[in-house]
Amino acid sequence: MFSPTLIIATAGAALLAIGFGFYAIDGIMSLKSAGFMWVGLMIGLFLLYVKFGEVKKLLGGKSARYGANMVVMIVVFAGVVIFMAILGHTHKQRVDLTKTGRFTLSSQTIRILQALDTPVEAVAFYRSESGTMHAQQKQKASDLLEEYASYSDKFSFRFIDPDRNPGLASKYGVSEYRIMLLMAAGKQVKVGTERETKITNGLIKLLRKKQKYIYFVKGEGEKDLASTRKDGYSAARNAILNENYEIKELFLMRVDEVPEDASVVVVASPRREITPDGLEKLDRYYRRGGAMLVSVDPGHPPGFKTWLENYGFKLQNDVVIDQQSKLYGANPMTPVVYAYDKKHPMTKDFTLATYYSIANSVYIDEDPKKGQYQLAMTGANSWTELDRDQLESGNAEYNEVTEKRGPVPVMAVTTVTVAEEKDEEGSIRQRYGKMILVGDSDYANNTNINLAGNGDLFLNTISWLAEEADLIAVRAKKRDITPVVLTATQGRAIFWVPVVMVPASVLLLGIGVYSRRRWFN
């Protein structure tokens, strides 16, 4: 039978544990937790006073020495655990085990953060009431900003509650909740909602030294930026705007020269011949150091083909057939590209598959000194089909006499040295004209731009031509998941109950059983 003293002592220890548990979970010393702890402490002191003689005698016995050894072992074990925790905190390694990579930033975001040379501070304006939707939104924003800060010591953040600090909110000109301000070198950009794409786009806008303009040539049946049809370019337009570029249309017949502020000129598969005067304007722009993204489709205008061949590209009126496309769920006239030039900065780290709908081959004699590379190649089972009758009948077969076996390039680049110039830091560098030719315009249309890596390759091409190499990466994707967002109290409960309280209870129970067997038998 248990003695009354043991029962009272157990009750006192239980009250102390309950009071500490409430304090650990609530995060504050409430009247409830303080009451339990006070009663448990008073019971312990009362028993110590009443049984002082027995306690003194017990501590001087042989069993006490064994017990002291056990306490020392427990303290040493706890010290090892604490040391491992400190070591893990100072040399931490983050691993995202979620299926969708929920807590992993995109490679584009990571590259931008790692390239930061100017301190950036994010000031987030969120309400902080516990247990509300506002608290959940704040927690989500805090988790995301903490992930940003983990990749760069030049990125920091802090939160301001507009209700509790109206003066600070007024100072920053913020009158809304759920707003972030990104600030660096006297500039600031306002970002709404806690989404990676929003914050990263805000960073790009904040760090960009000047606004860059992407011009799309119009007037000869090129892809329509306003069209929402399957073959339109409205999705491509939105993707470029999301990268914080500005878009303008360029009617060559209405201007004397391509505008000086053109960072990139896009010629998206003209259906009719561009006039000789228009081609001369594009040529002058290119040779003064301009950047051009040109796409053609099978059946391209012959005059336009001749103009491109003047820059070293080799075109023929073919269609790329790839039987391996069937393995990826596509038809043979939609070649799948998964091989990219690893020496060129735009494609050396690109690994995503891209799809091209009815593509034309784009060959060029590779010469690194001239900046000529074949950037994207189809697989070995592809070929360049020239027989239109076979294409129309759906029975295309490789002809080793007249047709070329894969790999077949569908994207190539060339450059021309223009002159030396000083950059904004005063360093001398070479200035180049750059032109990328793609043998398909539909890889970036509304149907295909979100397919596999098509959108990333399209935007990477724009970024490289616009001389923004830091943006060449895989961008953040929309993740169709609903995360469980916990309040601060719930988070502490999940930590303290299974991690601390349950193991501590088992440990105390073991100590109690051991002590009873050694000291009371």
Tokens coding 244: 């914080």
Q: What is the pLDDT of residues 388-433, one digit of tens each?
A: 778 777 788 888 888 899 899 999 999 998 876 665 556 666 788 9
Q: What is the pLDDT of residues 491-505, one digit of tens each?
A: 667 766 776 677 777
Does residue 147 or residue 3 have the better pLDDT? 147
The 10 Å Cβ neighbour count of residue 441 is: 27
Q: Provide mean pLDDT across the span 242-253.
A: 91
CA atoms within 13 A on the CB side of 346: 26
Q: Which CATH class is domain 107-206?
A: alpha beta
Task: Show Cβ contacts of residue 310 under 8 Å, excluding neighbours closer than 6 positions.
Answer: none
With a cut of 80, say whether residue 115 has pLDDT above it.
yes
pLDDT for position 286: 96
Q: What is the pLDDT of residues 116-154, one digit of tens each?
A: 888 999 999 988 776 567 777 888 888 889 999 988 999
With a cut of 50, say whether residue 322 has pLDDT above it.
yes
Tokens coding 142: 């805090």
CATH superfamily of 211-471: Class I glutamine amidotransferase (GATase) domain (3.40.50.880)
Residues of the chain with CATH 3.40.30.10: 107-206
pLDDT for position 19: 80
Q: What is the pLDDT of residues 188-243, one digit of tens each?
A: 888 877 788 888 888 888 887 788 999 999 999 999 999 999 999 999 999 999 88
Which amino acid is located at 490 in the chain?
Q
Q: What is the DSSP string of 432-466?
A: EEEEEEES-SGGGSTTTTTSTTHHHHHHHHHHHHT
pLDDT for position 503: 76
For the ranges 81-85, 346-350, 508-512, the lowest mean pLDDT is seen at: 81-85
pLDDT for position 505: 72
326, 397, 398, 442 from 332: Cα distances, Å: 7, 11, 12, 16
From the list 417, 350, 414, the residue with the least C-alpha distance to 377 is 350
* CA 116 – CA 488 distance, rounded (Å): 32
- Number of alpha helices (DSSP H) and beta strands (DSSP E) in the chain: 15, 18
Residue pair 406/379 in contact (Cβ under 8 Å)? The answer is: yes
* CA 260 – CA 46 distance, rounded (Å): 89
Task: Show Cβ contacts of residue 472 under 8 Å, excluding neighbours closer than 6 positions.
Answer: 111, 345, 346, 349, 460, 463, 464
* CA 445 – CA 433 distance, rounded (Å): 26
Residues of the chain with CATH 3.40.50.880: 211-471
From the list 345, 350, 353, the residue with the least C-alpha distance to 378 is 353
pLDDT for position 165: 86
Does residue 127 or residue 260 have the better pLDDT? 260
With a cut of 90, say whether residue 434 has pLDDT above it.
yes
Which amino acid is located at 71 in the chain?
V
* CA 26 – CA 30 distance, rounded (Å): 8
**Cis peptide bond upstream of 259, omega within 30:** no
Percent of the chain with pLDDT over 90: 37
* CA 461 – CA 124 distance, rounded (Å): 33
Maximal C-alpha separation, the chain: 111
Does residue 71 or residue 254 have the better pLDDT? 254
Let me know if 197 is exposed, middle or buried by CB neighbors in 10 A (0-12, 13-18, 19+): middle
From the list 473, 400, 462, 455, the residue with the least C-alpha distance to 436 is 462
With a cut of 80, say whether residue 104 has pLDDT above it.
no
Helix 52-59 and helix 31-50, axial crossing angle in degrees, nearest 10: 80
Q: What is the 3-state secondary structure of 17-69?
A: HHHHHHHHHHCCCCHHHHHHHHHHHHHHHHHHHHCHHHHHHHHCCHHHHHHHH
* CA 367 – CA 292 distance, rounded (Å): 19
Whose tokens are 């001389």? That residue is: 467
Q: What is the DSSP string of 478-498?
A: ----------HHHHHHHHIII
pLDDT for position 198: 81
With a cut of 60, say whether residue 184 has pLDDT above it.
yes
Question: DSSP H helical segments within 115-180, as ranges?
Answer: 133-150, 166-171
Q: Provide mean pLDDT across the span 51-73.
A: 62
Tokens coding 395: 């029975």
Confidence of residue 485 (pLDDT cuts 50, 70, 90): very low
Beta bridge partners of 190: 181
